[in-house]
Amino acid sequence: MKKIVIIFVFSLLLVILNNSLVIRAYTTPSPELQTIQLKSRSIEYESSGKLLSELIKLFYEERNYNPAWCSQTEIYPQAYILLKIIKEADREGLDPSAYYYSLISNYVRELENKIIRNSSITREVALSFELLMTKVYLDYTLDLLTGYTRNGMFNKMYDKHELIKKLNRAIEQESLGKFFIDLYPGQELYFRMRKALSHLRNISSKDWPRVGYGPPLQRGDYSKRIIELRRRLYLSGDLSEEQLNTGTYFDRELEKAVRKFQRRHGLKDSGIVDDKTIEALNIPVKEKINKIIINMERLRWLPRDNPDLCVMVNIPEYKLKVIREDKVILESKVIVGSRENQTPSFNDSIEYIVLNPYWYIPDNITRYELLPQIKKDPDYLDKHNIQILSGFEGEVKIIPEDQINWDEVTPENFSYKLRQKPGPGNSLGSIKFLFPNDFNVYLHDTPSRGLFEYRERALSHGCIRVERPLELAKVLISQSNWSYNEVISIINSGNREVIELKNPVPIYLIYLTVWVDDDGVIHYREDIYQRDKKLVHEMMKKAVNDS
């Protein structure tokens, strides 16, 4: 009974201060139980806690305060279904203990024993169980819908009254399983990630061999280390079973497997097993599992709408994809923000295409990168087609550069703005794609085409340079009154033009260090901004250990 008392006290703390609920089945005939004050003075609620309390209140209002999970003589079928679902929460990369699986299991056993002995469940215990199950139901729903670490985004993305109706409908129709599946991110990628997570968990850590360091291994070599290499590549699906036990010789098939592994990990596919390749081979299975878990979490942050046309940029992959009706119709290399000037992750919609754009140079670039060049070379501004402006808003004046005493200018006192005119040397190239946002981030062309040949392309000040901007424009102008030939004509004329998209196109700037392609192949990329460790910490911090 000790655990029941603990759970009862815990449950009474679930609803926000001074909120009272009357659960009909537990309040008659005892007058003292007709109104139960559920207070939370001992809990400091964060935004997600306040949201949960509000949802609990709405949940029972929608039900006319009828219980959802048990009566004093019966545990309802949907309670068992929910218990089974949270037991399998690890399939979603979530921790069953965060949903009090062990506590609820013990609770159910004690309640079942009472029912078997024809001993009715007390009103207090029934209410305790009822509220705990509702908390778990709502917690799990929010975690699938907005992400385990992003419950606070719910109000910006979803309607709580509509959600409550769906929650209660799923209970009445005994369709909790289908309800939760419908909450998954719409991308097929999420289901492929679930499958990959299950696969890696089936590989025991002791069966994941380490490949020893030594001289680089390549085709034609003999080495005992090749036995370890074959075993390791077989377990990750890069080498076929037929090639597993073919000795210590580095043959053509092994070279193919090494190249495949290198491509999957964003390494140079040389076919040579160097130190960097060995380092990637020796990443423990547990770490790879954690990477899949946190990237499934990132997918849950995405909106649940499934647009016919969208643009997706995966920052660590340095890749842009245009997706139409769930099919990739365009891929392009991109250059993203450096480690010092990171490209943020967020969702928005492309609203405008600007042909032959001006580049309004950010102040930090002006003060700390261009000013030293300008002071060193009096002709720098003319050479780079840059104008000096009195400001960006209202009446903008172009200031002749000879009116400025450059000897007295410092990064701290320079009050003007710089703007680069359209032209062949413009840093934005011939076209940019705008999705107005607080980060001042956008997609654009670039005259520095050679940088796309680099394997690691975290090189910009935060905006995203696109290798194939005209092909991207060709797809997006289908949402405008313009033709592709008109776009090319304007670009060739050198005139600035703004195209407004009648139907803005959703764009997702995502940060996936792991994903699974259409063929079921798992890909890994370097955590260029060191965001993975932070997310692992956030997820572990939120998890509750009830063992």
User: Which residues carry out catalysis?
Assistant: 444, 463
Any idea which residue has 């063929």 for tokens?
Answer: 519
Rg (CA), the chain: 30
Please provide the size of the chain in residues. 547
Q: Say if residues 86 and 53 touch (Cβ distance below 8 Å).
A: no
For 269, phi then psi, to 5°, come to -85, 70
* CA–CA separation, 356 and 424 (whole Å): 9
- 150, 151, 155, 160 alpha-carbon torsion, rounded to 10°: 150
What is the DSSP secondary structure assignment for residue 370, as one 8-state letter?
A: I
- For the chain, the first-to-last Cα distance in angstroms comes to 17
For 183, phi then psi, to 5°, come to -85, -15
* CA–CA separation, 481 and 499 (whole Å): 9
Q: Say if residues 148 and 295 touch (Cβ distance below 8 Å).
A: no
- 276, 278, 280, 282 alpha-carbon torsion, rounded to 10°: -150
- Who contacts 283 (Cβ-Cβ below 8 Å, separation ≥6)? none
Q: Say if residues 333 and 467 touch (Cβ distance below 8 Å).
A: yes
Instruction: Record the tokens describing residue 86, joined without a space.
Output: 């949270």
Say if strands 417-420 and 359-361 run parallel, antiparallel, or are unpaired: antiparallel
